[in-house]
């Protein structure tokens, strides 16, 4: 059995403290504004089996990010994100204790992208 990859944050105890490891394992939602000069309003709706599980309105300053931990049970969710009451996207994302199964919402040049997994 080989050594864990240095890029695997959950298995590198020399560079990852317990609180960072806990956050990565518990983070269900990560929202980031990549625009360096523009603030954005983001509205999120997260549904599972057609039932609303989370709704939130966020004001992100330029280059700001935020996250929610232990917000959702493990499973598959439909996520809709709307930026500045204009640009919108919907995607299906899995959530679990694996950082590769986290809802990631990114705003880049005013456009929104939803993906799975914290990079």
Instruction: Assess whether pLDDT exceeds 60 at residue 11.
Output: no
d(CA 29, CA 26) in angstroms, rounded, equals: 9
Q: What is the pLDDT of residues 34-59, one digit of tens each?
A: 999 999 999 999 999 999 999 999 99
pLDDT surpasses 60 at 113: yes
Token pair in block for residue 40: 């954005």
Does the structure show a pLDDT above 70 at 19?
no
pLDDT bin (cut points 50, 70, 90) of residue 98 is: confident
Q: How far apart are CA 71 and CA 26, in angstroms?
A: 9
| φ/ψ (deg, to 5) at 51 | -105, 130
Rounded CA separation 60/30 (Å): 12
Flag whether pLDDT at 71 surpasses 70. Answer: yes
DSSP letter string over 60-115? E-TT-EEEEES-S-SEEEEEEEEETTTEEEEEEEEESSSTTS-EEEEEETTEEEEE
pLDDT number for residue 99: 83
22-26, 62-66, 81-85: range with highest mean pLDDT: 81-85
Is the pLDDT at 86 greater than 90? The verdict is: yes
What pLDDT is recorded for position 74?
94
* 100/23 Cα distance (integer angstroms): 13
Residue 14, class by beta-carbon neighbours within 10 Å (0-12 exposed, 13-18 middle, 19+ buried)? Answer: exposed
């Amino acid at each position: 059995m080989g050594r864990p990859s240095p890029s695997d944050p959950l298995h590198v105890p020399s560079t990852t403290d317990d609180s960072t490891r806990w956050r990565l394992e518990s983070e269900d939602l990560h929202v980031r504004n990549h625009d360096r000069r523009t603030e954005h309003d983001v509205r999120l709706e997260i549904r599972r089996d057609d039932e609303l599980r989370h709704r939130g309105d966020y004001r992100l300053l330029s280059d700001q990010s935020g996250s929610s931990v232990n917000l959702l049970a493990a499973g598959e969710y439909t996520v809709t994100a709307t930026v500045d009451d204009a640009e919108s996207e919907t995607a299906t994302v899995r959530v679990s204790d694996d950082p590769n199964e986290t809802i990631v919402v990114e705003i880049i040049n005013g456009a929104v992208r939803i993906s799975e997994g914290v990079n």
